[in-house]
Amino acid sequence: MAKPHILVLAGDDASEVLSQAGFTIAGEDHQRRQTAAIVVDTRGDSGPKAGELVRSLKAALGPRAGLFMAWSNGEDNFDVSAFDGVLDAFATPSVLAARLGSSLRIAVMADEAKMRFRTLARFGGPAHPPILSSAKVPRILLFGQPDPDLLQFTTALSQLGAETVAAFTSFTAFDYLHESEFDGVVILARDDRATALGFCAAMRRNARMFHMPCLILGSPDFDNPHEAIERGATDFAIAGDDDAAAADRLFNFVEEKRSRDALNLAFAAARAPAAMEATTGLYAPSFFLAHLESLAHRAHETDRPLSIALARLDTEASLGVVHSRQGIERLVSQSGAMLSRLVRAEDVAARLDQTTFAVAFPSSDDDAAKIAAERIAAVLECTAFDVQADHTNFSNDQPIQIKLAIASASLLPQENATGLLQRVTAELEQGAAK
C-alpha cells in the first residue's frame, strides 16, 4: 500500500520530519505519483509570499492540486485563507502523521460526498447534503487534579471562546463524556502519568470517543511524549510552556472532528429509494454503475487512484446447506447488511446481483483495496448467519457460515468504469474456476 506522496517546499528539516511521520517525500523514490499534499514554508521571509505562491500553484495544477498545508512556526505572517490547513513546525512526527493524515482523509470524504449527491440527484434523491450549523461554542472537558497548570490552561481555552468543564477523577470524567456532548478532552499528566495515559487509551477503545481530540499536558520531564501519542493522544504539550498555542492546536483538531462528523452525517443522508437495494440497504446496481462512471472520470481528472473489489458468495462451499431461493436471499441480505458496516463512509458498497457485492474505494490503490476486501471477507466468513430456511435439512438453530471469492483492481490510465468492472469480474471468475 503506497504511502501518501508529499511535495515539500519548506526545506530539508520539514522533509526529514514528514518522512519520519511516514509520508513519501516527492523525489525520494524517483517514481511518478499523484501528490496528495504540498507543504509550503511560511516561516520568516517566506510567509508574506506564501499565499501568492499557493494561488499560482492551484491555478496551474487545476483539479490535480492536492491539499496545500502551511509549514508554520506560529508566526502570524501569512495569508491563512490560501491554505487548506496549518502544520506546526515544532510538532513531533507522530502528531504530524495524525494531523496530515486526518486532513487528507477529510479531503477525500468531502470530494466523494459532493460527487455522491450529484449522482444521487439523478435517482430522485437530494442534490446536496444537509446543512449543519457548526457555530456551536466548543465544549472541552479538562481532567486532572486541581492545579495551577489546569487553571491556566482553562483560561487559555476560555480566551478562545470555549466552554470548559472540569473533572477531578476518571470516574467523573467518563460520566461527563457519556452523559453529555464534548468536542475535546484535556488531560493533566503532571503527577499521575499512568492514569492519564490509561484514560486516553480507554477513550480510543470507545466507539463514541474514538475520534474525539485529546490533548495531554505533561511536565518538562515527561519520559516519552511519543508514548502519549501511541496510547491515543491527539497532541502533547508541556503545561505552562505555550498554553495559547496548544489551545489553538486543540481548536484545529476540534474543527477537523466537526468536519468529519458532518461528512459522516452527509453520507448517512445520501440515500434515495431508487438508488438503494431493498433487502440489504446497499446501493443498487444501477446507482453503483452510474457513480462508478463519475468516479472514474474524477480519478483521471485529478490523477488520483480508484479501486474496486468484488465479493461473490460461494453457496456450494458454505458450511451448511441452503437449498431454497428464499434461504439464499436471507443469507445474502444479512451478509450485505453486515458488509455495509465494514466499509468507510466514503467507500461505495453495492449489491450487483443475487450473490455478488461490489465496493468502490475512492483515492485508494489496488493494495489498499485488496487489504480491505480480504478483511471484509474474513469478518463475513467467520460470522454465523441464521437464515431459518429449509427446515427439512437442518434445524432453525443451525448457523450458516459463508465462503466468499474476492478480486480487486485499480483503474488503469485511459480505462473507463466499464472496463475496470469487466476486468475485475473476469479475475473473480478465473479465481473461482481454479
Strand partners of residue 235: 215
In sequence order, what are the residues at sequence separation of 6 or more whose Cβ sits closer than 8 angstroms to the Cβ of residue 165? 139, 140, 141, 142, 176, 182
Q: What tens-digit pLDDT sequence spans the chain (434 residues)? A: 567 889 999 888 999 999 999 999 987 665 566 789 999 999 999 999 999 999 999 999 998 989 999 999 888 899 999 999 999 998 888 889 988 999 999 999 999 999 999 999 999 999 888 876 666 899 999 998 888 888 999 999 999 999 999 999 999 999 999 999 999 999 988 777 888 889 999 999 998 898 899 999 988 877 677 788 888 899 988 888 889 989 998 998 999 999 999 999 999 999 899 999 888 889 999 999 999 999 999 999 999 999 999 999 886 766 556 667 777 788 888 889 999 999 999 999 999 998 899 999 999 999 999 999 999 999 999 988 877 654 445 445 567 788 899 999 999 999 999 999 999 999 998 876 55
Cell of 180: 453529555
Q: Could you name the CATH architecture of 276-433?
A: 2-Layer Sandwich (3.30)
Fold: same for 5-121 and 276-433: no
CATH superfamily of 139-267: Response regulator (3.40.50.2300)
8 A C-beta contact, residue 39 and residue 87: yes
Q: Is the entire prediction scored with pTM above 0.75? A: yes
Query: Distance between CA atoms of 336 and 289, rounded to whole angstroms?
Result: 18
CATH tag for 5-121 (out of 3.20.20.140, 3.40.50.2300, 3.40.50.10780, 3.90.1150.10):
3.40.50.2300
Strand partners of residue 186: 142, 215
Domain extent listing, the chain? 5-121, 139-267, 276-433
8 A C-beta contact, residue 199 and residue 143: yes
